[in-house]
A and B are shown apart, each in its own frame.
Chain A
Amino acid sequence: VILVVAEQRDGRLNRASWEAIAAAQALAAGQDQIIVAIPGGAVQDAAAELSAAAVAGVWTVTHDALAAYTPDAYVAALAAVVAEAAPSHVCFAHTYQTRDFAAVLAARLDRTLVTDVVAVSRGTDGTPLYSRPMFQGKLVAEVAAEGPAPHLVSFQIGAFRADAAARGPGAPVTAKPAAIDTASLRQTAEAPFQEAKAAVDLTQAERIVAIGRGIKAQEHMALAEQLAAAFGAELAASRPICDNGWLPMERQIGSSGQTVAPKLYVAAGISGAIQHLVGMKGSRTIVAINKDADAPIFEVADYGIQGDLFEIAPALIAELGKG
């Protein structure tokens, strides 16, 4: 059995759960049964949606203490689910929520957790080998999980396609109410909120010029603005630029910011850490300008210029100005 832990908030299924199902189906290779567990307060709608997957069953793992996510409640509930399902593997989407509790679950079960997996292959003896980025995406490692089963695996967002998950005739939904000792729960969570309503909706922009660490200093942001204006583009940035306060947070692209897919995305001085790539790799045409020919941003770029941003940007502004 392969167990997939799906995710919802306020009863709405996180679409990344379908990616985890697609990954589990690839891992099962038709050999193993797949059970999808959906923890929460009221999850019947999410469970009904999940039952369309080609899986052996959907378990609704419900308890009042699971309505608002806390790691203690989730670990308690899922440790019991794992004990009952006795799976060979437990699959998650590598969301911020998974990052919050899955390592604790693995530690409590005394099992290993392989995170941020982008592909699964098989070793010569048939054991799964998990590909995951290392060193900020400069390298990819093939990793074998060791120690007793189950092995826990989280899959990078976007690595498996949600629409690639095989659909079935309708999987049975089984209620598995959680038994949680509420006295053991230590965290209290308040309702999620958004800091500032996004003044700019970058998801609607046709063209985006995004700036990264390569811009080096705040005084050079004027050059970035000129470059964006020359392309007729919205200006955006990778996280470090917004951390420094050189652009407002709502112009941040990546896992903690906005996810965009414009017609043209120009990444200038952005190395391409995975946290950035997940926010922009769906763009139709991607241009990368970077001094480092091995920067991971070139892996997703259609056009690349290796060179000094402070020479390339003025040349581009001049060229675009010719109309």
Chain B
Amino acid sequence: MKIAVCIKQVPTREWQPRLTDDRTWVRDQDIAYEMNEPDAYALEEGLRLREKHSGEVVVVSAGPARVQQVIREALARGADRAIHAQDDAFGRADAAASAAAVAEAIRGEGFDVVLTGLQSDDQGHAQFGPVLAERLGMPHSTIIMEVQVTDRTLKAKRELEGGWFQYVSMPLPALLTIQSGINQLRYATLKGIMAAKKKEIRVVAPAAPVTARQRIVALALPQKAKQTAMIGGTPAEAAKELVRRLRDEARAL
């Protein structure tokens, strides 16, 4: 089985955003990056499918040169090789623009299964997977918590809202977007890290210029929905004051 896993490099959760002077993007030089968390679960699911059905796992990422950090990490965790659609424009492009370029980069590979995370922790469009499926002419399903493949049929457990699920079946080749928590992640071993250095990363330039159709006019810190009373002091003082105000002001205790 030939499996592609699309991953994105995103800022770490601890990162504090600082804006560029024109306030339309964040200062790249301040950012520490990591693999988008749902994509890490997609990678793990891809590795498990390979263990069960044999074949290969190819990690695919669109982004500037810096994304080879997460590509190497994926190779160290066990992916066999990588395809890197490289262009600085991917750093800010919307999901549909990235998906269109990735579709062109992998079209000739003939993947049976394409996996990716349900959304990215940076722009959070939640569109890359469905658009890639459409561009590749594959059926798809989203927010998946279980994957079974038998013969040429894929059955996936799709998460609905409020604790509901449903099973959806479709013929291969197919694309799924994976929900965090579907499996337990493995981490790279030293042996994996050494082996990753010898694995192939095929760099492809986009055939056409990457044209986004969403323009960020301004970025800002979110407006507070409520006036938050911040309570300071030592932990004991803050605890005492909070409890007093919850009793006397909010009458919540």
| Interface contact B131-A139, CB-CB below 8 Å | no
Stretch from A32-40, A80-88, A108-116, A164-172 at the B interface: A108-116
Judged by a CB distance under 8 angstroms, whether B48 is at the interface is no
Chain A neighbourhood of B246, CB < 8 A: 264, 285, 287, 303
Q: Which of A270-311 contact B (CB under 8 A)?
A: 271, 281, 284-288, 292, 294, 296, 298-308, 311
Judged by a CB distance under 8 angstroms, whether B225 is at the interface is yes
Q: Which of A85-128 contact B (CB under 8 A)?
A: 95-97, 99-104, 106-108, 112-116, 123
Q: Which of B192-245 contact A (CB under 8 A)?
A: 212-226, 228-232, 235-236, 238-240, 242-243, 245
Cα distance, A320 to B239, chains bound together (Å) = 9
Binary A-proximity of B18-29 (CB < 8 A = 1, otherwise 0): 000000001000
Cα distance, A112 to B127, chains bound together (Å) = 10
Least CB distance, B226 to chain A, in whole angstroms: 6
Chain B neighbourhood of A106, CB < 8 A: 96, 127, 131
Cα distance, A301 to B224, chains bound together (Å) = 9
A305 CB contact (under 8 Å) in B215, B217, B242 = B242
Chain A neighbourhood of B170, CB < 8 A: 186-188
Quick one: which of A147, A256, A312 has the most chain B CB within 10 A? Answer: A256
Main secondary structure of the interface of B (DSSP, over half): mixed
Quick one: which of A134, A213, A312 has the most chain B CB within 10 A? Answer: A134
Chain B neighbourhood of A103, CB < 8 A: 95-96, 125-127, 129-131, 134
Q: What count of chain A residues pass the 8 Å CB interface test?
A: 96
Judged by a CB distance under 8 angstroms, whether B86 is at the interface is no
Least CB distance, A115 to chain B, in whole angstroms: 5
Known: A103-B96, A146-B214. A193 touches B252 (CB 8 A): no
| Interface contact A258-B162, CB-CB below 8 Å | yes
B181 CB contact (under 8 Å) in A114, A243, A320 = A243
| Interface contact B142-A100, CB-CB below 8 Å | yes
Main secondary structure of the interface of A (DSSP, over half): mixed
Cα distance, A135 to B239, chains bound together (Å) = 31
| Interface contact A104-B242, CB-CB below 8 Å | no
Known: A115-B127, A133-B124. A305 touches B252 (CB 8 A): no
Least CB distance, A99 to chain B, in whole angstroms: 5
Chain A neighbourhood of B229, CB < 8 A: 302-304
Least CB distance, A289 to chain B, in whole angstroms: 9
Judged by a CB distance under 8 angstroms, whether B61 is at the interface is no
Known: A239-B180, A243-B180. A133 touches B222 (CB 8 A): yes
Q: What count of chain B residues pass the 8 Å CB interface test?
A: 78
Cα distance, A304 to B216, chains bound together (Å) = 31
Known: A99-B143, A134-B123, A191-B166. A285 touches B217 (CB 8 A): no
| Interface contact B231-A107, CB-CB below 8 Å | no
| Interface contact A312-B238, CB-CB below 8 Å | yes
Judged by a CB distance under 8 angstroms, whether B64 is at the interface is no
Judged by a CB distance under 8 angstroms, whether A189 is at the interface is yes
Judged by a CB distance under 8 angstroms, whether A144 is at the interface is yes
Least CB distance, B90 to chain A, in whole angstroms: 16
Chain A neighbourhood of B181, CB < 8 A: 239-240, 242-244
| Interface contact A186-B131, CB-CB below 8 Å | no
Known: A141-B218, A304-B231. A104 touches B131 (CB 8 A): yes
Cα distance, A139 to B223, chains bound together (Å) = 9
Binary B-proximity of A179-206 (CB < 8 A = 1, otherwise 0): 0000000111111111100100000000
| Interface contact B252-A138, CB-CB below 8 Å | no
Cα distance, A257 to B179, chains bound together (Å) = 13
| Interface contact A115-B125, CB-CB below 8 Å | yes
Cα distance, A103 to B129, chains bound together (Å) = 9
Write the chain A residue with the least CB distance to B214: A143
| Interface contact A255-B161, CB-CB below 8 Å | yes
| Interface contact B226-A257, CB-CB below 8 Å | no
| Interface contact A312-B13, CB-CB below 8 Å | no
Chain A neighbourhood of B135, CB < 8 A: 107
Chain A neighbourhood of B141, CB < 8 A: 71, 100, 187
In the A-B complex, the 6 residue pairs with the smallest Cβ-Cβ separation, listed nearest first, are A243-B181, A186-B139, A315-B239, A103-B130, A112-B213, A103-B127
24 example contacts (A-B, Cβ-Cβ < 8 A) are as follows A72-B139, A96-B159, A101-B130, A103-B130, A112-B213, A138-B16, A140-B222, A144-B217, A187-B141, A189-B167, A192-B164, A192-B165, A193-B166, A240-B181, A243-B180, A258-B163, A285-B250, A287-B242, A287-B246, A299-B222, A299-B226, A300-B225, A303-B230, A318-B239
Chain B contacts to A: CB under 8 angstroms: 11, 13, 16-17, 26, 94-96, 99, 118, 121-127, 129-131, 133-135, 139-143, 158-171, 174, 179-181, 212-226, 228-232, 235-236, 238-240, 242-243, 245-246, 250, 252-253
